[in-house]
Amino acid sequence: MQIRDYTEDDRSELLALTLRCWEPVFAAMEAHMNPAIYKPLVPDWQAEQRRSLDNVCDDDGVEVIVAVIEDAIAGFAAIKSHPEDFLGEIYMIGVDPSQQRKGVGRALIDAGLSIIKRNGFKLAMVETGGDPAHEPARAAYEAAGFELWPVARYFKPLE
């Protein structure tokens, strides 16, 4: 496995990978959430993932790295700096479902932490969902030494 900087030539492969990564997550979220909340919150997850990927890839303030195995992108991570909060953030991370549980996510987390340290921060943050669909992500972050800071987020559908 090689970890390298993202290039614009990676965009289409990264988009396909992103959609593969999040398809089972959004399916599980939809199965567990109240439809009156899920539908307005996630009207079109594919379009939102495309927009999110474009935003991180086009933002000069975000460092995007990719993990490559046998000439194919196996995963990626986007790292943001938050100097106002004195920390760096692993803002987005995704591993191709065919490459999950093979160390790709951990390699991307470790590379992201190195970038955060290189940028002069002594604190790193990552966010994910507390729902069952995000349990593998939580396990990966905890295995990498992140400590959970509970946050409560509530939604109420409005008629």
Domain ranges of the chain: 2-143
Going by pLDDT thresholds of 50, 70 and 90, the confidence category of residue 159 is confident
Count of CA atoms in the C-beta half-sphere (13 A) of 96: 15
pLDDT given for residue 133 in this prediction: 86
| Type of residue at 107 | A
pLDDT digits (tens, 9 = 90+) for 66-88: 999 999 999 999 999 999 999 99
- The half-sphere exposure of 20 on its side-chain side, counting CA atoms within 13 A, is 17
Q: What mean pLDDT do residues 113-129 have?
A: 96
pLDDT at 2: 98
Residue 139 in this model has a pLDDT that exceeds 90: yes
pLDDT at 153: 87
Give the residues across from 59 on adjacent strands. Answer: none
At the fourth CATH level, which superfamily is domain 2-143?
Gcn5-related N-acetyltransferase (GNAT) (3.40.630.30)
In DSSP notation, the chain reads -EEEE--GGGHHHHHHHHHHHHHHHHHHHHHHS-HHHHHHH-S-HHHHHHHHHHHHHH-TTEEEEEEEETTEEEEEEEEEEEGGGTEEEEEEEEE-GGGTTTTHHHHHHHHHHHHHHHTT-S-EEE----SGGGHHHHHHHHHTT--------------
> Rounded to an integer, what distance in angstroms lies between the CA atom of residue 13 and that of residue 96?
11
How large is the average pLDDT for residues 24-45? 93
